[in-house]
Amino acid sequence: MDEDILARQALKKAFSGIPDLEVEKLLASGGVAHYPPGTVLCQEDAIEDTFYIILGGEVKVTKVINDLENRLLKRLGTGDFFGEMGIIHNAPRAATVSTTTNTAVLEIRKDSFEQLLNQSTSVSLAMVREVSRRLRENDEMAIEDLRLKAGELAQAYQQLAELELARREFLTTIAHELRTPLTSAAGFMQVIRLGMMEGETLKGALNTVSRNIDQIVTLMNDILFLQEMELILSEFTPVDIGAVVAASVEAERVHSENTGVAINLSIAPNLPFVPGDAKNLERAFTAIINNAIKFTLNEEPISIVVDYNPSYVWVKILDRGIGIPPGNMLKIYDRFFRTEEFNGHLFGGVGLGLSIARQVIEQHGGEIEVHSEVGRGTIFTIHLKLRHGPKTLMT
């Protein structure tokens, strides 16, 4: 069957009941074109002046919804037509139409199409019906788009409300954490200035003032460290994780002694180096160890093991403290999330330690895992990838 016969059959399908004479007028008003798969015939939002009738093959109609999703609206085949809206009232294309197979189309330009509508009642009626249907479809798509945008807007408002709440809680927490040591330090300094202390009493008061100032400095450093980490990545060098963890344990030695919580450290010999920033890694491990000591109320010892396998150096920090409730497991790394009380015992801190630890470990391409059971303790396991040779080869 030749192309002319196929074209006439397609036009009769497109415009049901059209007389043969008007079929010939349609054919005469345009030209037949052939396109391979993947050809864009109509581009969404473009101003174009061509009307298409599919004589053979298939096209797909897609539209960008909600500025993100490129949604498939429908597929059109022989006897379907498209592009009429753009040439009836000079509107931008409402969707993109592209071929999915080898496709033949009758293309009619705007001037020729307008003459055809004036001359052909059958074509005009068919166009009215199709335009009405497609207007309904466009309305439905517009309503769906508005619904999605309304949902996004509601979600954005919810996020803003949560951020505002977090901001207020942060300011309240910071104010509290600063006020307590500042008040203590100011009180002792006032007594010292009045000359009411001497000897060992004066020395103890000065130590208290110094400890409270250190607490304030540590808090400020943690906040600044989080901000700096997001802006500046340190250059990595080969790092001895065993030495880093040992330094973290030493940094928490006074804390552990004051709470009666011993730390048992086991470091495998000949640990390979890992690429990293020793100072930042020490801060991360110190934060986790500090957390373990703080939440161990029964003076049970903390166990820390540093070992390796062919892929990772790993560090396991195990405490037998109060544990983490299941509902809090997804929150423990959130900035400023903290446990304030357990069975009448109050805990200090602003909730930055574990957030710092995770951010440091992830910037090193590592992983941090936690397993916990309320009342029985918590295990943090950190894996850091090996990218350098054994320690004995690096020295």
Q: Indicate which CATH number applies to the domain containing 288.
A: 3.30.565.10
- State the Cα–Cα distance between residues 233 and 360, nearest whole angstrom: 10
Q: Write the CATH number for 186.
A: 1.10.287.130
In this structure, is residue 371 part of a structural domain?
yes
Across the range 99-109, mean pLDDT stands at 91
Q: Are residues 207 and 246 in the same domain?
A: no
Please name the residue that has the structure tokens 């788009």. 145
Domain that holds residue 85: 3-119
Last residue of a domain, one of 101, 119, 137: 119
In this structure, is residue 142 part of a structural domain?
no
Q: Are residues 284 and 363 in the same domain?
A: yes
Q: What is the mean pLDDT of the chain?
A: 82
- Residue 264 pLDDT exceeds 80: yes
Q: Are residues 171 and 56 in the same domain?
A: no
In this structure, is residue 127 part of a structural domain?
no
SS3 184: helix
Q: Are residues 202 and 316 in the same domain?
A: no
CB 311, CB 386: distance < 8 Å: yes
In this structure, is residue 129 part of a structural domain?
no
- State the Cα–Cα distance between residues 149 and 146, nearest whole angstrom: 5
Q: Are residues 219 and 361 in the same domain?
A: no
Q: Which residues contact 274 (CB under 8 A, 6 or more apart)?
A: 238, 239, 241, 313, 364, 384, 385, 386, 387, 388
Give me Rg for the CA atoms of the chain: 36
- State the Cα–Cα distance between residues 80 and 11, nearest whole angstrom: 9
DSSP 235-250: PPEEE-HHHHHHHHHH
Q: Are residues 247 and 384 in the same domain?
A: yes
Q: Are residues 187 and 323 in the same domain?
A: no
The tokens for 251 are 């940094």
Q: Are residues 173 and 298 in the same domain?
A: no
Q: Are residues 264 and 328 in the same domain?
A: yes
Cα 37 from chain centre: 36
- State the Cα–Cα distance between residues 279 and 247, nearest whole angstrom: 10
- State the Cα–Cα distance between residues 159 and 230, nearest whole angstrom: 21
Q: Are residues 104 and 155 in the same domain?
A: no
- State the Cα–Cα distance between residues 356 and 334, nearest whole angstrom: 10
pLDDT digits (tens, 9 = 90+) for 191-211: 888 888 888 888 888 888 887
- State the Cα–Cα distance between residues 250 and 291, nearest whole angstrom: 15
Amino acid identity, position 57 = G
CB 45, CB 92: distance < 8 Å: yes
Q: Write the CATH number for 82.
A: 2.60.120.10
SS3 14: helix
- State the Cα–Cα distance between residues 234 and 229, nearest whole angstrom: 8
Across the range 276-298, mean pLDDT stands at 91
Q: What pLDDT band is residue 389 in, cutting at 50, 70 and 90?
A: very low
- State the Cα–Cα distance between residues 145 and 69, nearest whole angstrom: 11
- Residue 109 pLDDT exceeds 80: yes
Percentage of the chain surpassing pLDDT 70?
A: 83
Q: 3-state SS of 97-162?
A: EEECCCEEEEEEEHHHHHHHHHHCHHHHHHHHHHHHHHHHHHHHHHHHHHHHHHHHHHHHHHHHHH
**Residue 11 exposed, middle or buried by CB count within 10 Å (0-12, 13-18, 19+):** buried
pLDDT for the residue numbered 49: 84
Last residue of a domain, one of 186, 201, 223: 223
Q: Are residues 198 and 99 in the same domain?
A: no
Last residue of a domain, one of 171, 195, 223: 223
pTM of this structure: 0.51
pLDDT digits (tens, 9 = 90+) for 156-184: 888 888 778 767 776 777 777 777 788 88
The number of folded domains in the chain is 3
pLDDT for the residue numbered 383: 96
Q: Are residues 323 and 387 in the same domain?
A: yes
Q: What pLDDT band is residue 122 in, cutting at 50, 70 and 90?
A: low
In this structure, is residue 228 part of a structural domain?
no
The tokens for 276 are 């990293």
201 against 392, higher pLDDT: 201
In this structure, is residue 39 part of a structural domain?
yes
Nearest to 382 by CA among 346, 340, 354, 341: 354
Residue 298 DSSP code:
S
In this structure, is residue 286 part of a structural domain?
yes
In this structure, is residue 146 part of a structural domain?
no
- State the Cα–Cα distance between residues 370 and 383, nearest whole angstrom: 12
pLDDT for the residue numbered 30: 83
Q: What pLDDT band is residue 129 in, cutting at 50, 70 and 90?
A: low
pLDDT for the residue numbered 394: 38
